[in-house]
């Protein structure tokens, strides 16, 4: 499957901005069976400087500076992504989840050391007893990690309601657990908080989700969306992705942008501006499959 993705972000400022430094996580990652074949970032007003680098987690990042006064900032990311299989094949059997939590601190392999950093607290995800208690019904003693993980993903899907007006970008997992509603970012943060509270390494994944129209209805351009899900480390296999918002294992309908400890590490666009005060934000995503009739 090949996707053409166009991600448009527009900031309209109440007052002119005289200077802006921005960071964009809008270049899809390349990993096994998931290749970003082309990418370009179009910015208006034109940046005075633009550079690309790879961050600590291996995500491609674009940095740009705008030095001319402006009341509107337009960022358009155009990408082509080829997906020709699953990045990781789920195992038929897996270690018990509590064995993973117990043994990981002593695992000095490169994979184990990389995974262990995702056990700890991060700025937007603070593990705690309340999260461990909520997850414990799925993570019973000696239950295989994969079985417990899929059961828990299904419980979040059933226990929580998707509600785009209930939360905002800074809503904490504690509040989401109390409200029992939110959006994909909230459900991903909640699941990460619960897994880390059990001593399991979990990371936050940002990307895109392809959507399908109702039966008999044409597909609408712009109906696709930015999305978030969770990745959990399974020794001997690698990182296993789960999507609590939709209760499924991400496959060819998911395109990965970046991963980190939480949303703060991989927010699509962030920066520092001089001026502007209040602003309006508009974001739209078009994710067009090119290999289907």
Rounded alpha-carbon distances, angstroms, from residue 156 to 58, 138, 208, 225? 29, 11, 20, 20
* pTM: predicted TM-score of the whole model, two decimal places: 0.94
Q: Residue 113: helix, strand or coil by DSSP?
A: helix
Q: How far apart are CA 257 and CA 228, in angstroms?
A: 10
How do the pLDDT tens digits run along the chain, 293 residues long? 999 999 999 999 999 999 999 999 999 999 999 999 999 999 999 999 999 999 999 999 999 999 999 999 999 999 999 999 988 999 999 999 999 999 999 999 999 999 999 999 999 999 999 999 999 999 999 999 999 999 999 999 999 999 989 999 899 999 999 999 999 999 999 999 999 999 999 999 999 998 776 677 655 444 567 899 999 999 999 999 999 999 999 998 999 999 999 999 999 999 999 998 889 999 999 998 997 64
Which CATH code fits 97-266? 3.10.620.30
Domains 2-84+267-289 and 97-266 in one fold: no
Q: Does domain 2-84+267-289 have CATH number 2.60.40.2250?
A: yes
Query: Where along the chain do its domains lie?
Result: 2-84+267-289, 97-266
Whether the Cβ atoms of residue 142 and residue 96 lie closer than 8 Å to each other: yes
Rounded alpha-carbon distances, angstroms, from residue 153 to 10, 131, 135, 209? 33, 14, 10, 17
Phi and psi at 90, nearest 5°, equal: -65, 135
């Amino acid at each position: 499957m090949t996707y053409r993705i166009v991600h448009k972000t527009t900031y309209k400022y109440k007052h002119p901005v005289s200077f802006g430094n921005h960071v964009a996580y809008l270049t899809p990652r390349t990993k096994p069976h998931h290749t970003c074949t082309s990418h370009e970032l179009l910015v208006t007003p034109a940046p005075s400087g633009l550079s690309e680098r790879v961050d600590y987690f291996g995500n491609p990042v674009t940095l740009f500076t705008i030095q001319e006064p402006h009341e509107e900032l337009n960022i358009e990311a155009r990408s082509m992504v080829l997906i020709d299989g699953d990045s990781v094949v789920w195992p038929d059997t897996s270690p018990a989840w509590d064995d993973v939590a117990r043994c990981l601190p002593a695992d000095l392999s490169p994979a184990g050391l990389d995974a262990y950093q995702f056990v700890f607290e991060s700025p937007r995800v603070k593990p705690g007893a309340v999260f461990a208690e909520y997850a414990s019904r799925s993570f019973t003693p000696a239950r295989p990690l994969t079985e417990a993980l899929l059961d828990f993903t299904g419980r979040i899907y059933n226990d929580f309601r998707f509600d785009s007006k209930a939360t905002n970008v800074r809503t904490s997992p504690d509040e989401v657990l109390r409200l029992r509603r939110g959006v994909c970012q909230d459900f991903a943060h909640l699941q990460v908080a619960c897994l880390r509270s059990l001593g399991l390494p979990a990371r936050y994944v940002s990307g895109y989700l392809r959507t399908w129209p109702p039966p008999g209805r044409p597909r609408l351009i712009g109906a696709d969306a930015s999305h978030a899900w969770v990745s959990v480390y399974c020794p001997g296999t690698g990182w296993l992705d789960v999507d609590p918002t939709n209760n499924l294992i991400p496959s060819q309908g998911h395109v990965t942008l970046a991963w980190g400890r939480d949303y703060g590490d991989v927010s699509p666009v962030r920066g520092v501006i001089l001026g502007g005060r209040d602003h309006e934000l508009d974001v739209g995503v078009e994710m067009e499959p090119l290999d289907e009739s």
